[in-house]
Amino acid sequence: MITYLIEFALLHLLFYLVYKLMLSQETQLKFLRFFLLGSTVLALIVPILEIPAPSEAVFVNLATSVYPTFEINPTGSNFSSWSWIEITMLALSCLFALKFVSGIIQIAAYYNKSVEKHINGITVREIPKLETSFTFFQWIFIDSSHFENPEDIIQHELGHAKKLHTLDMVFFHLLTIPFWWLPSIWLMIKELKKVHEFEADEFALKVNDKTYAKTLVQCTLRAHGMNLASSFDDAPIFNRLNFMKKMKKKISIWKVASVTALVAISGAMFACEDELESEIKRIADESNQQIDYSADVKAALDELKQQNPNTEYVVVETSLDNEASIEKLNSYDPGQIAKIFVTKEGDHKRVVMIVSQDSELFNKTVEVQESDPTNEVFTIVEKAASFPGGIDAFNEYISQNLSYPEQAQQLGVEGRVFIKFIVEKDGSLSNLEVVRGIGAGCDQAALDMMKNSPKWNPGEQRGHKIRQKLIQNILFKLPS
């Protein structure tokens, strides 16, 4: 949840800056309104999307598996699952929710005390002594006696109703309930109100452009309680009057293209999973004993198993930089190779082959592996590495050696930490690395716990100990 909030906030702020710097002075009102609404919806959706990042086929030199998730909960009587930060944020969200509801109730009260009236064929809700006019969906509230030219005001309000501006405001004010703390939400509301007013002005000008500007000035001066001499240079009035003059100006194509590209790129950057996260998800969805094949190799292996269900296949791979292995493989009969691939790992190319276990090639591959343990030929793991005593013993070790960091408890941080490591041939752990974490001390706590682990039982292949890469998934969970 915290990751989502951060990504939404960054995206929404970025979109607001794009609007302010590149679009706020434009006059294509439909496009401006679409951008303000669409970019906000996009910022809400993008953080929950997962677009796999494009990458070249890579074959991992180690058998890889994911150990079952272990859940760690806070202990101790001094812990409260609700930190003061969470309580404050929730309380303020409740206040904004009450404000939203009270606004709806107030409008309903206006409706109940209003009287339906028809002016120039337009239905309005007449309320005596109403100082201003406003629209809520299709209801136009006004005291027509309060204005010198009420027809102009009604046309303006009718523009709000026809263009469904209330829907925009309801949407954004609902967002202020959970996101009251995000400045770009309030700034976008301010910009959207301007666009709404300009759209309503545009609608009213089509009916009566001779008196509308004068009515606009008179209403603003009356609202400010000022006379003409002291307040005619009121900035918002000049903005609206100037906008009326340049309303037909089109937005430049390069600006539309630039904004579209910026939004698309920024959205893709937040939505794309990084390579390590994609690896974790793929491995987690597969068997705990599944070697980490590239997609094309796995598809070919599955196809061969379907075509020949009684034949056991094995995947063999080596680096093209390993001249001894390449020379050896070149001496094999190509007819014994079911499938062959060339993949790329950084600047190094590798050969990946699928052969049957009873073939001469498979036996020669094992001989190469036994005679030269430093070469890079690896095969499927028959027996995966394991913690002494099994899963239950490992869970017991974690529960005794891993505590929920106090910082994470106070900040309300929870989620999964993935630790990648290698079980060496002697059972020791090496290359420990947090491949995805949640911060607030949880990543380091989980990493330290794994570093202090006793030796494991190494993985085995055809009776030989091998190095195996594992990923441990630890879930830090606060009490509900």
pLDDT at 31: 92
Residues 165 and 302 in one domain: no
232 shares its domain with 334: no
pLDDT tier for residue 248 given thresholds of 50, 70 and 90: low
Domain-embedded: residue 408: no
Contact (CB, 8 A) for 212 and 201 = yes
Residue 222 lies in a domain: yes
**Domain extent at residue 353:** 292-371
Burial of 213 (0-12, 13-18, 19+ CB in 10 A): middle
CA 222, CA 143: separation in Å to the nearest integer?
14
Do residues 232 and 317 both lie within one domain? Answer: no
| pLDDT at residue 320 in the model | 61
Report the share of the chain in percent with pLDDT over 90: 30
Last residue within a domain, chosen from 325, 356, 371 = 371
Query: How many angstroms separate the CA atoms of 51 and 45, rounded?
Result: 12
Question: Would 114 be classed as within a structural domain?
Answer: yes
Contact residues for 135 (Cβ-Cβ < 8 A; gap 6+) = 141, 157, 158, 160, 161, 165, 166
Q: Is the pLDDT of residue 289 over 60?
A: no
Query: Is 163 within the bounds of a domain?
Result: yes
Cross-strand bridge partners of residue 348: 345
Same structural domain for residues 224 and 336? no
Mark whether 218 and 87 lie in a shared domain. Answer: yes
468-476 and 63-72: which strand pairing? parallel
- Considering the domain architecture, whether residues 109 and 199 belong to the same structural domain is answered as yes
Q: What is the pLDDT of residue 408?
A: 85
User: Same domain for 230 and 338?
Assistant: no
Q: Is 102 part of any domain?
A: yes
Q: Are 125 and 139 in contact (CB under 8 A)?
A: yes
The predicted pLDDT at position 230 comes to 30
Cβ neighbours, 10 Å, residue 119? 15
Final residue belonging to a domain, choices 322, 346, 371: 371
pLDDT of residue 328: 61
DSSP-based helix, strand, coil % in the chain, nearest 5: 50, 20, 30
Answer yes or no: do 140 and 214 share one domain. Answer: yes
> 322 falls in which pLDDT band (50, 70, 90)?
low
- Flag whether 335 is in a domain: yes
Domain identity same for 203 and 108: yes
| CB-count burial class (<10 Å; 0-12, 13-18, 19+) for 439 | middle
Instruction: Convert the pLDDT of each residue in 28-64 to its tens digit.
Output: 899 999 999 999 999 999 888 755 544 333 233 333 3
- Total of domains in the chain: 2
Listing DSSP states for 171-234 in one string gives: HHHHHTTT-TT-HHHHHHHHHHHHHHHHHHHHHHHTT-TTTHHHHHHHHHHHHHT--HHHHTT-
DSSP output for 44-68: HHGGG--EEPP------SSEEEEEE
pTM, 2 dp = 0.56
Based on the domain organization, do 96 and 176 belong to the same domain? yes
Residue 64 or 456, more confident: 456
Residue the block writes with tokens 């609007």: 19
CA-CA-CA-CA torsion sign (193, 195, 201, 207): negative
Q: Which residue has the higher pLDDT, 419 or 340?
A: 419
Where does residue 439 fall: left (phi above 0), alpha (psi -120 to 50 degrees), or beta otherwise? left
Any domain includes 467: no
Do residue 240 and residue 360 come from a single domain? no
Give the closest residue to 42 by CA, choosing from 20, 17, 11. Answer: 11
Establish if 145 belongs to a structural domain. yes
287 pLDDT above the threshold of 60: no
pLDDT for 283: 44
Confidence bin at 117 (pLDDT 50/70/90): very high
188 and 100, same structural domain?
yes
Higher-pLDDT residue of 342 and 47 is 47
**What is the model's pLDDT at position 58?**
29
Lowest mean pLDDT among 20-34, 206-220, 259-273, 425-439: 206-220
Q: Which of 194, 229, 251 is the last residue of a domain?
A: 251
Per-residue model confidence as pLDDT tens digits over 132-165: 889 999 999 999 888 878 888 899 899 999 999 9
> Which one, of 243, 258, 356, 208, lies nearest residue 22 by Cα?
258
Q: How far apart are CA 430 and CA 470, in angstroms?
A: 11
Residue 348 reports pLDDT greater than 70:
no
Residue 296: CATH number of its domain:
3.30.1370
